Structure 1
Amino acid sequence: MLHNQLLVLFRNALRNKRYSFLNIFGLAIGIACACFIFLWVEHELSFNHNFKKRNSLFTIKLTTVGENPTIEDCPMPLPEEIKRTIPGIKNTARFSWELKQLFILGDRSFNISGRYIDPAILSMLDLTFIYGTHPSIQSPEDIVISESMSRTLFANDNPVGKILTTKSESIFSRDGNYLITGVYKDLPVNCSYHFNWISSYTFFENLAPPELNKWNFFTETLLETEPLTDIAHINKQLKHYMAKKVEGSTLQTFLFSMNDWNLYSRFTDGKPDGGKIQYIYLFSIIAFLILVIACINFMNLSTAQSEKRAKEVGVRKVSGAGRLALIRQFIGESLVMSFLAVVLAIIMIAFAIPAFNSLVGKELHADFFNTTHLVFLFAIGLICGLLSGIYPAFYLSSFRPVMVLKGIKINNSSAAVFMRKGLVMSQFSISIMLIISTIIIYQQVQHVKSRNLGYETNNTIQLSIPNSLPAHFLAIRNELLQSGLVENVALTWSDPMYIFTSSNEYTWAGKSSNNKIEIYDMGVSPGYLATMHMKLKSGRDFYLQQVADSNSVIINESLAKLMGASGKIGAYISRKSTALRAQIVGITEDFVFNDMYAPCGPAVLLCIPRMTNLMIIRYKPGADLKAALATTDQVLKASYPGYPFEYKFVDEAFHKIFESETLVGKLSAVFSVLAIAISCLGLFGLTAYTAERRTKEIGIRKVLGASVGSLARLLSFEFLKLVCLSCIVAFPVAWWALHSWLQDYQYRTTIQWWVFVVAGLIALLIAILTVSYQAVKVAIKNPVKSLRSE
C-alpha cells in the first residue's frame, strides 16, 4: 500500500515537474529562513551556558527609581558586606573593568586586555585549565592567562612557572613581574567575559586614594548564591541596603541573574523591560510568518492541480477507498514533499551560512547531527507537512466520483474560492508589512546617525596612551601639529561618546540638599573642545597652560539650565568627596553621550590632563590617512618605543553603536525580499489555477474577437485587486506595530505616509510582473486547442 502511494506521488511529481519544483522550492526557502533564525536565536539564548554554575551566579545592580539608568557597578565594600550580613550568599568576587597591560617578552611587547579580580572567581566561573593543576591569584604577582594569549607569547610551550615582565604605561597598569600560575581554555564567543588575563584585585583596589571613601569607588561584581536560595527574599533585604551604608543614598540594590544578562539590557525603575529578548521575539515571529507564507503556497499550488487529480480521486473512491484513506494519502504526500524540502533547505543552509554569518556578524555553525538541530528539522518538516497538506487533503478528498468520472467540471464553492484568495491576501499583507518595517527601521537608524551630536566624529582617532605621556603632552602635540597632517590633539579619560564617571555630590549656590542629581564628569586637556569641534555657547576654552585652569570647569547647556541662576560664567560648582571647588569658565552647546537616542544629560569637563588615559587626534580634511597614521606612529614610537600604536576611528565606533538596529534592518530587508518571492510563487499558483479553470472561456472570448491585452487585463485584475486589499489590511497593522516600536526611543523619526505608498507600489509592481506572465501565456494560446473537445 505504502509502495503504491509513493509510486503515485513520484509519478505525479514527474508529470508536473514545474508545480512539484515550486512546491518543494517554496517550502525549502521558508524552512531555510526559519532554520537560520533558529540558529541565531539558539546562539543568543545559550549565552553563558559554558558556566556550569550560571543558575547561581548574579551581578549586583543599582538603580534610582524614576531618575537614573540602572548600572551594574557597585561600591567596592558592598559585595563582602552582603556576604557577611545576608544568608544565602556563598561567594562574591569583584572585577575591575577591562584594562590593557603592556607585557614585555625579550625584545617584543604586547598590549593585552584583562582584568583584576578576587580569587573566588576561579571557582565561581569554573574555568577549564589546560596548564596548572591548582592555579592561584592570591598574590598581586600571580597571573592566569588565556589559551590564545599563551600561544601568542609562548607558542605551544607550557608557560606555567614562567615570569612575565610588565611595564606601567597607565595608572591602571603595574610595573614589575608576574608569575604565570595557570592557562585556561579560551571562553566561547557567546559569553559575557572575554578577558585574556586575570590577576589579583588587590592591585586595582589600591589604586583608590587612601583619603577616598571606598563606598564612592565603584566596581563590577559577581555573586554566587547557595542552592535553592530565595532570590526574591534577598532582593527584598537588599532594596534599601545602600541607604544604611551611605548617608543620603537613594540607590536601590538588587541581584540580576547571569541567565538574563544577554537578553535584558534595558531597565525601568530597576526592572528589566527590554533588550535582545525583543529581537528574539521579533525574529521568531518573522520565522513563523515566512513558514506560513511557504505553507500557503503549498496549499494554493496543490489546489491549482485539483482538476488534474479529480479523476484519480474518482477512480479510487469507486474502487472502495474511503475519504479518510484519501486524506491520509494526501497528507502523506504532503509530508514527503515537506521532508524533501527539508533536505533541500539543509543544502541551502550549508551553502548560505557564510553569507548569513557575515550579515549577522556571528560565527554560527549548522551541526545537522546535533540532537537539538535534528529534532528542530524533524519538527519543522512535520509541522510544515501537516500545515500545508491538511487543506488540500480535505479539499481533494471531497470530490464526488459520479461527477468527476462523467467529466463534469468541478464546481468550486464560494468558500473554497474565498479561502484561496484569503491565503494570497495574507501572504502579501505580511510581505508589505515587512517592506514597511525595513524602510522605517532604516529611517530611524539614519535619523539618529544624522543627529547633531554636538561634536564631529570624522577624521578622528582615539588611542590609549602611556601613563607618563600627559606630562609631555605639549611637546608631542606640537610635533604632531608640525607634521602638517594633524588639525588638533587632546587628552581625555573617557571615550568621546561615553562618559562613565558620574556623581550626585555636585553642589552649587541655591541647590537643595535633597536634590540628588547625577552629573557626568570627564577630565580633559586644553584643546579638547577644538579637537572634537564642540561649540562654546559662552565663555572660553581652557588655557593651553593647564595650571592656570586647575580650578576651572566647563559645563554644558543642560547643566547650566539645572543650575538656574548659578549656571553662568564666573559661578562656582563643588563636589564633596574630592574637595573640588571650581569656577565655571565656559558653557558648551549640548553634546550627546552614552545614549544616542536620549536627550543630553548634565556634564562637567574638568581640566586635569594628568589623569587622562586616551588621546584624541583629528586629522586635517583631505589628509592622506595612511600617511597621517604612519606619521603619528613615528612620533609616538620616538618617545615610547615599546608601546604599541593601537587606535580606532571615532566614526567607526559611532556606527557600531547601532549594530542591533542595523541588524534588524538588514534581516527585515532580506526576509521581506524572501517573503515577496515566496508570495509570488503563491500568486503564480493561483493564477495558474484560474487560467486552467477558465481555458475554454478564454478560447471562446478569443474566437469572438477579444485581444490579447484585454484577456491579460481580465485575468490580472482580480489578482491585483487582492494585492490592493492586502495593502488595506497591512497598512494599519504595520503603522501600529512600528509606532509602538518607535516609542522605545526618545529621539525618533516620524512615520510618513509615502512609506506606505512606496511599499504598496513595490508589492503591486511585483504582483503585476508575476500575474502578467501567466495571463499573457494563456491569452496567446491557440483557441482551437482549448475548444477542440466541444
Structure 2
Amino acid sequence: MLRSYFNIALRHLRKNRGYSLLNIAGLATGIVCAALIGLWIEAELTYNHDIPGYKNLYLVRENQTYDGKTDTYRATPGPMAKALPGDIPGIAKTARSGGNSRELFSDGKKTMNINGCYADANLMSMLSLQLVHGNAATAFQQLNSLVISEEMATDFFGKQDPVGKTLKVNNGNDYMITGVFKAPPENGSFQFQWLAPFDIEEGRQAWLRRWDANGIQTYVQLQPTADLAVINRQLKGYLATKGDISTECFLQAMDDWHLYDQYTDGKLSGGRIQYVRLFSLIAGIILLIACINFMNLATANSEKRAREVGVRKVMGAGKGRLLLQFMAESVLMAYVAVGVALLALLVVLPLFNAVVGKQLSLDLFNPLHIVLLLLIGLITGVVAGSYPALYLSSFNPVGALKQLKARGGSAAGFIRRGLVVTQFTVSIVLIISTVIVYQQIHHVKSRNLGFEKDRLISVVLQGELGKHFDALVHDLRQTGLVADAALSQSPMLNIWYNMGGYSWKGMDPSKDVLVTYNGVSPQYIHTMNMRLVAGRDFYEDARADSNSVIINQSMAAQMGAEGRVGGIIRHSNRAYNIVGIVGDFLYNNMYVNGAPFLLYSNAEYPGYISVRFKQDADISKALAQTEKIFTRYNPAYPFEYAFTDVEFTKFFNEEALTGKLAGIFASLAIFISCLGLFGLAAYTAERRTKEIGIRKVMGASVAGLTGLLSREFMKLVAVSCLLAFPAAWWLMNNWLNEYAYRITISWWIFIIAGILAMLIALATVSYQALKAALANPVKSLRAE
C-alpha cells in the first residue's frame, strides 16, 4: 500500500512540476538554513568534548569585590596549584599555565615566532595530549625542556624524530626537545604549538610565588567520586587561610568555559549560550516558514485535486487512507528537498565557514548527522503536510466532484492569509534586527575613545629593543613618517594590570577601589593622542617622575577633593603626586564608560612598543622604514606588529557575527516567503482568469488589473508590518539593554523595513499579475 501511495505521489509531482519545484525549493532552502545553524550549534555545544576527561576538568575562578562591585576573573595566585591537592580532598591533579606566549625559536638556520604555553607537566595528562615521540611522565624533568607539536617539529626537523635535539629560545638558552604531540583539537580552548615548564616563568618573576598576586590560570582535575559542591564550599574562603585575602574562589567546569563565560556581580549571567539559543530559534522559525509555504501552496492547489478526492471517496477510499496518501506525498517531497539541500550544502558550507570562522563539515558517516537529516525530512514532511492532508481528505465527495468545497473554502483561504502574514512578520522582524545590530556596532565603533586608534601599531617588546629604546625613537622620528613612539606594560586596548589597596585623604576606610594601571615611558600620552585636561605630561627624564602619576577623570571623580593636580594617592606605603589628569579613554570593554585608571612614569617592565605614524604619512612606506629601524636594533627578531584599529574591530566579533547571520537568514526567510507568494499569486491569477477577461472586455487597464491582483497581497504584508514592528522593538530593546553604551531605536528603521518588505512582495506578485492582465481576454473567456 505504501508503494502505491508513493507511486501516486511521484505521478503528482511529475504532473505539477511548477508547484513541485516551488515547494521543493522552499523546503530545501529551509533545510539548508537549519542544517548550517545545526552544524554551528553542534560545534558550540561540543567545544572541548574531544578531550576524553573533560567532565572532570575545571578552571579555578576568582570573585573579587571592590567598592561593593564583584568582578570575576580567571587569574589566580602562583602557589595555589601546588597547595590545592594537599589542602582539599577530592582534587586529583592541578596544573599552572601562564596563558598564551609567543616566543622566538631558532635552529641556527630557521627562525620563527610561535605561540605556545608555559605550563606544568600535569597539563599534558589532564588534556590527554597524545605524544608521538617522547614520554609525558619524564618530559619536564629538566628545566629547559620543550614539548612541541608535529607541525612545529616538521617545520624545523622535517620527518626526523626531534627528541634530544635542541632549539634556541629568544636567542638565549638552548631548550631540549623531550616530546612531540599531536595538535590539540581545533574545537577547543587550548591552541598551542609548544609547551615548556612553568618553573621557567616562576624563576623569572618572583611575584608568582606570592599568594596575594594573581596572574596565571590554575586547572584542576577532580577525582571521579569528588563532590563539586563540597569542594566549592571549601574553596570559597580558601585564600583567606593563606593571608589577608578576601577573594573568593570557585571551580568552573570545562564544559562551561566556552558557552557560560559572562558573570555579573559574581554570578553567572550568560555568554555565548545566548547566541546558541537565538540561532536555534531562528533555525526553527525558518524551517517553519518553509513548512508554511508547503501548506499554503498545497491548499491553494486543492481545487485541482478536488475531483480526484471525490472519485477516490466514491470508490471507497476512507479519510484515513486519503490522509496517509497525502502525508506520503508530503514526506516524499520533504526527502527530495533533503537531497537537494545536501547538494546545496556542499556548495555553501565553505562560504558559511568563512562567515563564522569555523571549519564545519557535514560528515555523512556520522550516525548523528544521518539520524538528524532523516528526522528533519520526516518532521518537515509531517508538519508541512499535516494541514493540507487533513484539508484535502475532509472534502465531501459530492461537493468535491462539483468543486463546491474547493471554491468555497473560506476557512482555508483565511488560514492561507494567516500563514502568509506569519511568514512576512518573521522576515520583517529579522530585517529590523539586522539593521539595529549593525547600528549598535557602528555606534560603538564611532564613539570617542579618548585616544586616536588610527595609524597606530603595537609591537611586542623582544630582545634588545628595551635597551635601545631612546635611540630607536630618535631614528623613527628622523624618518619624517613617525610622530612618536612609547613603551608600556600593556597594549592600549587590553590593559591587564589592576590592584586594590589605593588610598587618599578623605577616603572611606571601609572601601577598597580596584584601579587599572599601566607603567609607561614619557612619550605615551603624546603617542596615543590622549587629551590632557589638567596639569602636565610626564617629564622626558622618567626618573624625575618616579613618584608621580597621571590619573583619568573617572579616578579623579572617585577621589573627590583629592582627585586634582597636586593631590596625593598612596599604595604600599608609598605616596604618589598627581601631576596630570587625562580624559577618560576606553580599554578592555568598549561598551562601558570610563573606569578608574592611572599611569606610572615607569617602563621598568615594558611589554610593548607603540608607534604613531604621522597623519600625512604613506602607511606602506612608514611600515617599511619602521621595520628597517627595528631590525637594525633587534636583528635576531622578526618585525611583527598589530594595527590598533584592527584589534579594536575584534572587540565586536560576536556582535558582527550576529549581524551577519541575522542578515543572511533574513534574506533567506524573505526568499522562502516570496517563493510561496509567487505560487499563491499564480494560483490567484489562474482562479480569476474569467473575471480578468470580463474586466478587460469592459475596458479595465493593465495597470488597474495588476493593482487589483496585487492589492490583496499588499494588505497581508501591511498586516505583517503591524505585527512585526512591536515584536521587533521588544526583542531588540531587550538585547540592547545588555549594553551600557547603546543606541536608541529609531522609528525610521521600521518604516524602511516595512517599505522594503512591501517592495519585495510587490515585485514577487507583479510578474503573475502582469501576466494575467496582459492575457488575451478571448482565450481567458474561452477557458473552462
Q: TM-score range by the shorter chain?
A: over 0.9
Question: 1:402-413 maps to which residues of 2 (within 5 A)?
Answer: 402-406=398-402, 408=404, 410-413=406-409
Show the counterpart of 2:350.
354
Partner amino acid, structure 2, of 1:197: W
Show the counterpart of 2:160.
157
Match of 1:521 among 517, 522, 525: 517
Q: 2-side partners of 1:322 and 1:567: how far apart?
A: 88
Q: 1-side partners of 2:202 and 2:211: how far apart?
A: 9
Q: 1-side partners of 2:110 and 2:487: how far apart?
A: 27
2:596 aligned with 1:594, yes or no? no
2:660 aligned with 1:644, yes or no? no
Match of 1:748 among 732, 742, 750: 742
2:504 aligned with 1:501, yes or no? no
Residues 789 and 511 of structure 1: CA distance in aligned 2, closer, same or farther (over 3 Å): closer
Show the counterpart of 1:42.
42
Q: How big is the shift at 1:214?
A: 3.9
Match of 2:699 among 693, 705, 721: 705
- The answer (yes or no) to whether the contact 2:211–2:242 under 8 Å persists in 1 is no
- The answer (yes or no) to whether the contact 1:208–1:214 under 8 Å persists in 2 is no
Show the counterpart of 1:551.
547
- The answer (yes or no) to whether the contact 1:470–1:610 under 8 Å persists in 2 is no
Question: 1:553-632 maps to which residues of 2 (within 5 A)?
Answer: 553-576=549-572, 580-632=574-626
2:189 aligned with 1:192, yes or no? yes
Show the counterpart of 1:690.
684
2:470 aligned with 1:474, yes or no? yes
Q: 1-side partners of 2:82 and 2:117: how far apart?
A: 19
**Cα deviations across residues 159-213 of structure 1 (Å, max 9, x unaligned)?**
1111222236xxxxxx312111101111122111112211111121223337984
Between 1:75-84 and 1:220-229, the stretch displaced more is 75-84
Partner amino acid, structure 2, of 1:206: G
Q: How big is the shift at 1:429?
A: 0.2
Match of 1:102 among 88, 98, 104: 104
**Cα deviations across residues 507-561 of structure 1 (Å, max 9, x unaligned)?**
2222233211110011111111111110101111111221211221111111111
- The answer (yes or no) to whether the contact 1:165–1:178 under 8 Å persists in 2 is yes
Partner amino acid, structure 2, of 1:680: C
Partner amino acid, structure 2, of 1:603: F
Show the counterpart of 1:226.
223
Q: 2-side partners of 1:562 and 1:304: how far apart?
A: 69
**Cα deviations across residues 391-412 of structure 1 (Å, max 9, x unaligned)?**
1111111222222334557343
Q: How big is the shift at 1:700?
A: 2.8
Between 1:269-278 and 1:717-726, the stretch displaced more is 269-278
**Cα deviations across residues 678-726 of structure 1 (Å, max 9, x unaligned)?**
1111212222232233223333333333322222222211211111111
Q: 1-side partners of 2:189 and 2:345: how far apart?
A: 28
Partner amino acid, structure 2, of 1:597: Y
Show the counterpart of 1:171.
none
Question: 1:235-246 maps to which residues of 2 (within 5 A)?
Answer: 235-246=232-243
Q: 1-side partners of 2:709 and 2:246: how far apart?
A: 71
**Cα deviations across residues 468-496 of structure 1 (Å, max 9, x unaligned)?**
32232111100111011111111111110
Q: 2-side partners of 1:359 and 1:350: how far apart?
A: 15
Show the counterpart of 1:394.
390
Partner amino acid, structure 2, of 1:695: T
Q: 2-side partners of 1:60 and 1:443: how far apart?
A: 37
Q: 2-side partners of 1:157 and 1:468: how far apart?
A: 33
Show the counterpart of 2:79.
77
- The answer (yes or no) to whether the contact 1:716–1:772 under 8 Å persists in 2 is yes
Q: 1-side partners of 2:635 and 2:494: how far apart?
A: 30
2:99 aligned with 1:92, yes or no? no
Between 1:593-602 and 1:13-22, the stretch displaced more is 13-22
Q: Quote the sequence identity (%).
A: 47
Residues 789 and 659 of structure 1: CA distance in aligned 2, closer, same or farther (over 3 Å): closer
Q: Which runs of 5+ in 2 are unaligned?
A: none
Show the counterpart of 2:273.
277
Q: 1-side partners of 2:350 and 2:207: how far apart?
A: 54
Between 1:322-331 and 1:12-21, the stretch displaced more is 12-21
Residues 391 and 217 of structure 1: CA distance in aligned 2, closer, same or farther (over 3 Å): closer
Q: Which runs of 5+ in 1 are unaligned?
A: 169-174
TM-score normalised by L of structure 1: 0.96
Q: 2-side partners of 1:210 and 1:708: how far apart?
A: 84
2:369 aligned with 1:369, yes or no? no
Q: 1-side partners of 2:583 and 2:767: how far apart?
A: 60
2:267 aligned with 1:265, yes or no? no
**Cα deviations across residues 55-76 of structure 1 (Å, max 9, x unaligned)?**
0111011113551421011112
- The answer (yes or no) to whether the contact 2:463–2:637 under 8 Å persists in 1 is no
2:777 aligned with 1:783, yes or no? yes
Show the counterpart of 1:27.
27
- The answer (yes or no) to whether the contact 2:91–2:221 under 8 Å persists in 1 is yes
Residues 198 and 182 of structure 1: CA distance in aligned 2, closer, same or farther (over 3 Å): same
Partner amino acid, structure 2, of 1:166: V
Q: How big is the shift at 1:246?
A: 3.1
2:458 aligned with 1:462, yes or no? yes
Between 1:401-410 and 1:381-390, the stretch displaced more is 401-410
3-state SS of 1:470 partner: coil
3-state SS of 2:491 partner: coil
Match of 2:200 among 198, 203, 208: 203
Match of 2:119 among 117, 120, 127: 117
Show the counterpart of 1:679.
673
Partner amino acid, structure 1, of 2:74: E
Show the counterpart of 2:655.
661
- The answer (yes or no) to whether the contact 1:471–1:610 under 8 Å persists in 2 is no
Residues 327 and 643 of structure 1: CA distance in aligned 2, closer, same or farther (over 3 Å): same
Between 1:493-502 and 1:229-238, the stretch displaced more is 229-238
Q: How big is the shift at 1:3?
A: 4.0
Q: 2-side partners of 1:153 and 1:664: how far apart?
A: 40
- The answer (yes or no) to whether the contact 1:68–1:518 under 8 Å persists in 2 is no
Q: How big is the shift at 1:21?
A: 0.6
Match of 2:212 among 211, 215, 218: 215
Q: How big is the shift at 1:269?
A: 2.8
Q: 1-side partners of 2:153 and 2:574: how far apart?
A: 45
User: Cα RMSD between the aligned structures?
Assistant: 1.7
User: Number of paired residues?
Assistant: 781
Q: How big is the shift at 1:15?
A: 2.3
Show the counterpart of 1:172.
none
Q: How big is the shift at 1:137?
A: 1.3
3-state SS of 1:97 partner: strand
Match of 1:542 among 538, 541, 546: 538
- The answer (yes or no) to whether the contact 1:298–1:388 under 8 Å persists in 2 is yes
Q: How big is the shift at 1:648?
A: 1.0
Q: 2-side partners of 1:642 and 1:475: how far apart?
A: 18
- The answer (yes or no) to whether the contact 1:470–1:609 under 8 Å persists in 2 is no
3-state SS of 2:466 partner: helix
- The answer (yes or no) to whether the contact 2:690–2:783 under 8 Å persists in 1 is no
Q: 2-side partners of 1:407 and 1:651: how far apart?
A: 68
**Cα deviations across residues 334-361 of structure 1 (Å, max 9, x unaligned)?**
0110000001001111011111111112
Show the counterpart of 1:727.
721
Q: How big is the shift at 1:293?
A: 0.6
Q: How big is the shift at 1:238?
A: 1.8
Q: How big is the shift at 1:237?
A: 2.1
